[in-house]
A and B are shown apart, each in its own frame.
Chain A
Amino acid sequence: MKSNQQELESLVGRKYRHGFVTDIASDTVPPGLSEDVIRVISTKKGEPAFMLDWRLKAYRRWLKMTAPTWAHVHYPPIDFQGISYYSAPKQRTDGPKSLDEVDPKLLETYDKLGIPLHERARLAGVAVDAVFDSVSVATTFKERLAEAGVVFCSFSEAVQNHPALIERYLGTVVPVSDNFYATLNSAVFTDGSFVYVPKGVRCPMELSTYFRINASKTGQFERTLIIADEGSHVSYLEGCTAPMRDENQLHAAVVELIAQDDAQIKYSTVQNWYPGDENGVGGIYNFVTKRGDCRGRNSKISWTQVETGSAITWKYPSCILRGDGSVGEFYSVALANHYQQADTGTKMIHMGRNTRSTIVSKGISAGHGQNAYRGLVKILPGAEGARNYTQCDSLLMSETCGAHTFPYIEVRNPTAVVEHEASTSKISDDQLFYCLQRGIAAEDAVNMIVNGFCKQVFKELPMEFAVEAQNLLAVSLEGAVG
């Protein structure tokens, strides 16, 4: 009799569905990194002087830094001179004024990815900024958002149209010198999304950015800045895909969130970068710094991430709970299948009084995947009455995968309450047999069990994307269990 084990193993190897390449003329800067390249990027973007200075300062700093080695991931050294730092689809120099002017090939690309940019065809109530390689190619629903006073545009546009906001907030959450990849990003970032929600405004629709890497031998370095002013609310989602290539490509993004008094930011990620093939060849190195600053009283920042792609994921979306009564949340599903490696988690830094944080991390390891949760809960002396609850569950789906947990807890205030729960489980033969005995196909059974495992996280996603996340997980797990 064929064992469930074998059946499971045959399930988790479906192919990556977004691996196509768009054939489009692009304006690409030759590989290599120098002050000149940075000047070229800044000039191409027509940036004000303060931006160039900021970039150069970061670059000079970066030259003195070394890549971090503490993460539980392994990869050969990256040749930073072998990467092109700017690639953009060719277009009229002044950029498209409306969707009608966007290259049809680009629209087609996003259609194929299931992200139609035509507003009439859009999911109701979701505005999209589409970033293709180094530049934003389209942003939808801008006018409707503007009526509510919400600024939602590409980062480049924000630098042009809202320089004061950029100068005031950029780098205030993730400083230029923060870490090797964040500093590199600060020097060379090319685009990304910018959101500003003014006082008391509840953003009338979901905002989302869809990142696509297309060109080869390029890196994608985007920067996202979201500012929620007093009493405002915003929910933002990002999605990511890339073509299948044998080479590894670097994606080093920085995301900064700022929540003022009583403001709330919900930031969701469905990350599906190309993970490499079943032998671990190719795939994206996803080295990302994401941090939110609960600057104001009773503010709240909630991170939800579903990480199914990338050869290596290295990211720790964090919250600085500065304002009294502020709340930080981190809900994560991370999948490592085949030879994928994930080292991900969060940092909750409690500074204000009565700050609260919740961490729910669900790691799924399959094939030869290695999945590490790394989390820091830090209660500073002034954080009277701080509370943290951490739940960290691992699901193992093969004999050859690994799950690792690295929790760090630093408590410097005796009134703090910190809870940590962890579990490791497998999809048991019994669970699978139970479903099979009810007539449910093995593949559906595995999906059902894994989705059950991830439920606490999926329910935090905006409705439209919860289904997408479930489907994505199913695809990413095909052929993966053992």
Chain B
Amino acid sequence: MMILSVRDLRVRAGERLILDGVTLDVRAGEVCAIMGPNGSGKSTLTGVLAGRPGLEVISGTATYLGRDLLAMPAEERARQGLFLAFQYPVEIPGVNNVYLLKASLNALRKHRGEPELDAFEFLNLVRAKIRQMQMDESLLNRGVNEGFSGGEKKRNEILQMSLLEPTLALLDETDSGLDIDALKVVADGVNALRSPDRAIVMVTHYQRLLDYVVPDQVHVLAGGRIVRSGGRELALELERRGYDWLREGTAAA
């Protein structure tokens, strides 16, 4: 089953053209890695799919579960099971982390016509997940990402993801800035989510994460286009050779 289908997507931010014709298919059960040098448009791609403001679609389409994704407001995309793990999770001072989590889960449940969880049921659920993420329970009662370390923020994203159980998870450089232990925890969280009816798109600069979460397909984004696609071996090649040879390749083509 096709989960996400992007066709010739061109996107600009302000005056600057960032995505210049991206085409991508992600099927149920797949883990897809998007790699590429800094400034190649990786975060713009996940951003535009999630509905980040300030990005303008010039042409092209994105179809999610057969529906026009780009026509949906951001919260609707989320309620339809699209999740973005942010590269820079934002701080919301004074709002309890657990409160945001509960509001979020219940918004999704409500949308699906399921009963909202009460505080007790929710707490049991979230406590189990937090153990899985090897997070400190005290993070639940702190402000959303307020004073969290870089690693805590990323784990918090994965905690949210495992709680919301998305159909399509977009991970925007979730591995950056993590030490090896945190990376393993994050990878475990992602692997736990892998299932035949879900898809995961991981944006990453480094191959490292792919040692722990083995992708089904790897795409290289450079200059706003996908310049090379392949399997796991492509990621290893990138690690060996860097990105420059691909850039030259684009120029020659």
Taking Cβ atoms with an 8 Å cutoff, the residues of A that contact B are 1-5, 428-431, 433-442, 444, 448-449, 451-456
Structural contact, A448 and B95, CB atoms closer than 8 A:
yes
Bound CA–CA A466/B103 (angstroms): 19
B236: CB under 8 A from chain A? no
> A448-B92, A452-B92, A453-B93 given as contacts; is B73 within 8 A of A435 (CB)?
no
The answer to whether A434 touches B90 (Cβ under 8 A) is yes
> Given the known A-B contacts A429-B54, A444-B103, A452-B143, are A437 and B78 also in contact in the complex, defined by CB atoms under 8 Å?
yes
Excluding A434-B92, A439-B75, A439-B107, 14 further A-B contacts by CB distance (< 8 Å) are A2-B73, A431-B92, A433-B51, A433-B53, A436-B75, A436-B78, A437-B86, A440-B75, A448-B92, A448-B95, A449-B92, A452-B92, A452-B94, A454-B94
**Interface SS of B by simple majority:** mixed
How far does the alpha carbon of A439 sit from the alpha carbon of B75 in the complex, in Å? 4
Q: Are A433 and B52 in contact (CB under 8 A)?
A: yes
Query: Closest CB of chain A to B64's CB: distance in Å?
Result: 14
B53 touches A437 (CB 8 A): no
Greatest chain B CB density within 10 A among A431, A436, A441, A456 is at A436
Q: Which residues of A contact B53 (CB under 8 A)?
A: 1, 3-5, 429, 433
**A431 cross-chain contacts in B, Cβ below 8 A:** 90, 92
Q: Interface on B for A, CB 8 Å cutoff? A: 50-57, 73-75, 77-79, 83-84, 86, 89-90, 92-95, 99-100, 103-104, 107-108, 111, 143-144, 160, 164
Other-chain contact of B74, A436, A448, A456 (Cβ < 8 Å): A436
In the assembled complex, the CB of A64 is this many whole angstroms from the nearest CB of chain B, namely: 48
What is the chain B residue whose CB lies nearest that of A3? B53
Contacts of B73 in A (CB 8 A): 2, 436
Distance between A363 CB and nearest chain B CB, rounded to angstroms: 15
By the criterion CB–CB under 8 Å, are B90 and A430 in contact? yes
Shortest C-beta distance, A446 to chain B (Å), equals 11
Q: Complex formed: what's the CA distance from A437 to B85 in Å?
A: 9
Which chain B residue has the least Cβ–Cβ distance from A449? Answer: B92
Rounded to whole angstroms, the CA-CA distance of A383 and B90 in the bound complex is: 44
Bound Cα distance from A454 to B53, whole angstroms: 26
Contacts of A435 in B (CB 8 A): 92, 100
Whether B74 and A453, one on each chain, are in contact in the complex, defined by CB atoms closer than 8 angstroms, is no
Q: Which of A4, A434, A448 has the most CB of B within 10 A?
A: A434
Q: Which of A437, A452, A455 has most chain B Cβ within 10 Å? A: A437
Within the assembled complex, what's the spacing in Å between the Cα atoms of A429 and B95? 16
Q: A1-B53, A431-B90, A452-B143 are in contact. Are A437 and B95 (CB under 8 A)?
A: no
Interface-centre pick from A5, A431, A440, A455 (highest chain B CB count, 10 A): A440
**Contacting residues, chain B, for A4 (C-beta < 8 A):** 53
Q: Can you name the residue of chain A whose Cβ is closest to the Cβ of B70?
A: A1
Shortest CB-to-CB span from A127 to chain B, Å, is: 31
CB distance from B147 to the nearest CB of A (A): 14
Q: Let me know if B107 and A441 touch, CB within 8 A.
A: yes
The 8 Å CB contact of A437, one of B56, B84, B99, B103, is: B84
User: Which 8 residue pairs across A and B have the least CB separation, nearest first?
Assistant: A452-B94, A452-B95, A438-B104, A439-B78, A455-B94, A439-B107, A436-B74, A436-B75
- Alpha-carbon distance A4/B78, docked complex (angstroms): 16
Residue of A nearest to B57 (CB): A1
Cβ–Cβ < 8 Å partners of B84 in chain A? 437
Verify B92–A1 contact, CB threshold 8 A.
no
Contact B103 A440 (CB under 8 A): yes
A448 and B51 contacting across the interface, CB-CB below 8 Å? no
Could you tell me the distance between the alpha carbons of A430 and B89 in the complex, rounded to whole angstroms? 9
